């Protein structure tokens, strides 16, 4: 039996969707543990492209069980759209379970997300506008509505009306916006929920059974370590726990059951939204990465900010998540580069440091110190065997392994499942 966490080791979009789908061939279950439709996980199978926001990435695999667990915030309208869209394409292959204990993202959360961002002005976070912050706020405020409430319409209705009293006062008083009508929200949400009502289950007993049956379980994170609410570049973070510890909270699986944690990192770095990014490249280098890597947001279409791989932050992610290994993605994006820079330390307040607290204000004052490695100047996208990798690629990987102190067990050289090279640990 193995319980394996797939965790983003950067600011999200590391390629978790592809890696999860790929690894799922050897697992029975794939569980999304946090986040909401802010996530966009891309998978390419048989020449077809899929983008998942709530559905676990193994959903394309026949015979697997996919679970949207308690730690996720579920937008019922988004989920219904995703399920229907995949069903229409004939690709809803795995069995799906939606946790009764997950909280809901309701239309007013999305509206509040956008209004709050507007109010923050130049201090805006650059959220996806998918209602994530307001939904998690309500959860911790204990005014949230859960997936289970969809099965109890009278409770849902009562709590919705109560919440709207406060929200409407805010909309009218602070934002000068029209008030929301409970009838309209009720109808819209209950209508959408029809497409997954029969998939709702309590997750803890299901997890207990799966563990008792020695099932192989993948826990799929959304976003990335540096977007974690407690361990990321606060306040430019998301409102949940992408880190591996969040997989325990989000699924009900205790820490001592997890035996494998794969940190997924690009061979360079990207970020969408605002906040510090010490190795960001504004000129030609960043442009080339964006073009070669098609670095535009999966959920919002925004151009991603691009820069060199930051090993100070990767070491941090390896520690925070207890990574047992790394998967390095998008190696092929660096194929054209003459030389490749890697940040190994920072100059911070006059000193050279190889470890920092990635609080946003701290990172903003860090100047990267780079090691320059030779490029490989050849196409790597077609490579599937370790033995076919150019010497410079092997040196680049060995350098990361040595600096981070972890083996790189998987190398991704293209968006498709088969564009992957497994490396011996
Ligand atoms: P996720 O959110 O971590 O699942 O990542 P996204 O799907 O948002 O972003 C990763 C993007 O890179 C997607 O468009 C993937 O199809 C693509 N991708 C993943 N791995 C590779 C790779 O090794 N090479 C290239 N060129 N693209 C990749
Ligand atoms: P996946 O799972 C990259 C970013 C947003 C913003 C910040 C807060 O595809 O890796 P939010 O809407 O969560 O309140 O926005 O977090 N962000 C992501 N960036 N990938 C994601 O998900 C992201 N989800 C949120 O751009 O900076
Ligand atoms: Mg993404």
Q: Does some domain include residue 233?
A: no
Pairing mode, if any, of strands 200-201 and 269-271?
Answer: unpaired
The residue among 311, 208, 193 whose CA lies nearest residue 254 is 208
Q: Does some domain include residue 240?
A: no
Q: What integer pLDDT is reported at residue 301 of this predicted model?
A: 85
Tokens of 324: 């047992």
Q: What integer pLDDT is reported at residue 1 of this predicted model?
A: 75
Give me the torsion for CA of 271, 274, 276, 279, rounded to 10°.
30
The residue among 106, 105, 86 whose CA lies nearest residue 96 is 86
Domain with 276, as residue range(s), is 266-422
Q: Does some domain include residue 397?
A: yes
Digit-by-digit pLDDT tens for the chain (425 residues) are 799 999 999 999 999 999 999 999 999 999 999 999 999 999 999 999 999 999 999 999 999 999 999 999 999 999 999 999 999 999 999 999 999 999 999 999 999 999 999 999 999 999 999 999 999 999 999 999 999 999 999 999 999 999 999 999 999 999 999 999 999 999 999 999 999 999 999 999 999 999 999 999 999 999 999 999 999 999 999 999 999 999 999 999 999 999 999 999 999 999 999 999 999 999 999 999 999 999 998 777 889 999 999 999 999 999 999 999 999 999 999 999 999 999 999 999 999 999 999 999 999 999 999 999 999 999 999 999 999 999 999 999 999 999 999 999 999 999 999 999 999 87
Nearest CA residue ID for atom 11, ligand 2? 127
258: Cβ below 6 Å to ligand 2?
A: no
Q: What integer pLDDT is reported at residue 400 of this predicted model?
A: 98
Question: To which H or E segment does residue 211 belong?
Answer: helix 203-212
Q: Are 145 and 159 in contact (CB under 8 A)?
A: yes
CA distance 350 to 357: 16
Crossing angle for the helix pair 76-88 and 182-193, to the nearest 10 degrees: 30
24-36 in b/e form (b: 16+ CB < 10 A) is beebbbbbbbbbb
CA of 19 to the centre of ligand 1 (A): 9
Q: What integer pLDDT is reported at residue 330 of this predicted model?
A: 98
C-alpha distances in angstroms, 321 versus 138, 293, 352?
Answer: 27, 26, 25
The residue among 331, 151, 124 whose CA lies nearest residue 236 is 124
13: Cβ below 6 Å to ligand 2?
A: yes
DSSP class of residue 332?
G
Q: Are 408 and 420 in contact (CB under 8 A)?
A: no
CA of 39 to the centre of ligand 2 (A): 6
Q: CATH number of the domain that 371 lies in? A: 3.90.170.10
298: Cβ below 6 Å to ligand 2?
A: yes
Ligand nearest to the CA of 128: 2
Q: Whole-model pTM above 0.85?
A: yes
Q: What are phi and psi of 75, to 5 degrees?
A: -85, 110
Which ranges of 24-106 does DSSP label H, i.e. alpha helix? Answer: 76-88
Q: Are 27 and 58 in contact (CB under 8 A)?
A: yes
Q: Does some domain include residue 354?
A: yes
CA of 15 to the centre of ligand 1 (A): 4
C-alpha distances in angstroms, 180 versus 141, 174, 186?
Answer: 21, 14, 11
SS3 category, 298? coil
Catalytic residue, chosen from 41, 53, 103, 109, is 41
Alpha-carbon dihedral sign for residues 347, 309, 264, 11: positive
15: Cβ below 6 Å to ligand 1?
A: yes
CA distance 421 to 377: 18
Please identify which residue in the block is written with the tokens 């890696």.
19
Q: What integer pLDDT is reported at residue 302 of this predicted model?
A: 86
Q: Does some domain include residue 375?
A: yes
CA distance 132 to 155: 23
Crossing angle for the helix pair 107-120 and 153-173, to the nearest 10 degrees: 20
Q: Does some domain include residue 21?
A: no
Q: Does some domain include residue 387?
A: yes
221: Cβ below 6 Å to ligand 1?
A: no
290: Cβ below 6 Å to ligand 1?
A: no
Q: Does some domain include residue 188?
A: no
Number of structural domains (the chain) is 1
Q: Are 351 and 322 in contact (CB under 8 A)?
A: no
CA distance 367 to 232: 18
Q: Are 41 and 71 in contact (CB under 8 A)?
A: no
CA distance 20 to 32: 10
Number of H helices, E strands in the chain: 12, 20
Please identify which residue in the block is written with the tokens 């199978």.
45
Question: Is 41 marked active-site?
Answer: yes
**CB under 8 Å to 258, separation ≥6 — which residues?**
3, 4, 5, 219, 244, 247, 248
Which atom number of ligand 1 is nearest to the Cα of residue 293? 26
Q: What integer pLDDT is reported at residue 299 of this predicted model?
A: 73
Pocket test for ligand 2, best of 37, 39, 227 (most atoms within 8 A of CB): 227
CA of 208 to the centre of ligand 2 (A): 31
């Amino acid at each position: 039996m193995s319980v394996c966490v797939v965790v983003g080791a950067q600011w999200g979009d590391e390629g978790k969707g592809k890696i999860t789908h790929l690894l799922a061939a050897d697992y029975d279950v794939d569980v999304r543990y946090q986040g909401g439709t802010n996530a966009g996980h891309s998978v390419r199978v048989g020449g077809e492209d899929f983008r998942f926001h709530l559905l676990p990435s193994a959903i394309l695999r026949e015979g697997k069980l996919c679970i949207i667990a308690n730690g996720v915030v579920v937008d019922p309208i988004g989920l219904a759209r995703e399920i229907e869209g995949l069903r229409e394409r004939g690709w809803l292959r795995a069995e799906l379970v939606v946790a009764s204990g997950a909280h809901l993202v309701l239309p007013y959360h999305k509206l509040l997300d956008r209004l709050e961002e507007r109010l923050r002005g130049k201090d805006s976070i650059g959220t996806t506008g998918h209602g994530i912050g307001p939904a998690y706020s309500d959860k911790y405020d204990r005014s949230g509505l859960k997936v289970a409430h969809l099965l109890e319409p009278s409770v849902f209705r009562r709590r919705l009306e109560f919440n709207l009293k406060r929200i409407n006062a805010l909309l009218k008083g602070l934002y000068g916006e029209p008030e929301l009508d409970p009838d309209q929200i009720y109808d819209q949400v209950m209508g959408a929920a029809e497409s997954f009502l029969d998939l709702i289950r309590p997750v803890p007993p299901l997890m207990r059974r799966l563990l008792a049956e020695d099932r192989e379980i993948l826990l799929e994170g959304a976003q990335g370590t540096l977007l974690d609410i407690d361990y990321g570049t606060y306040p430019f973070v998301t409102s949940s726990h992408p880190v591996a510890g969040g997989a325990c909270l989000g699924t009900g699986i205790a820490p001592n059951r997890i035996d494998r944690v794969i940190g997924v990192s690009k061979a360079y770095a990207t970020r969408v939204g605002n906040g510090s990014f010490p190795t960001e490249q504004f000129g030609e280098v960043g442009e080339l990465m964006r073009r070669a890597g098609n670095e535009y947001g999966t959920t919002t279409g925004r151009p991603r900010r691009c820069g060199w791989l930051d090993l100070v932050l990767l070491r941090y992610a390896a520690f925070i998540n207890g990574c047992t290994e790394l998967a390095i993605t998008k190696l092929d994006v660096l194929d054209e580069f003459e030389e490749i820079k890697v940040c190994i330390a920072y100059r911070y307040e006059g000193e050279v440091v190889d470890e920092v607290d990635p609080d946003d204000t701290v990172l903003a004052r860090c100047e990267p110190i780079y090691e320059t490695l030779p490029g490989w100047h050849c196409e790597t996208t077609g490579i599937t065997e370790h033995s076919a990798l150019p010497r410079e690629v092997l040196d680049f990987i060995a350098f990361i392994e040595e600096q981070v102190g972890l083996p790189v067990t998987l190398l991704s050289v293209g968006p498709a499942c088969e564009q992957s090279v497994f490396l011996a640990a």
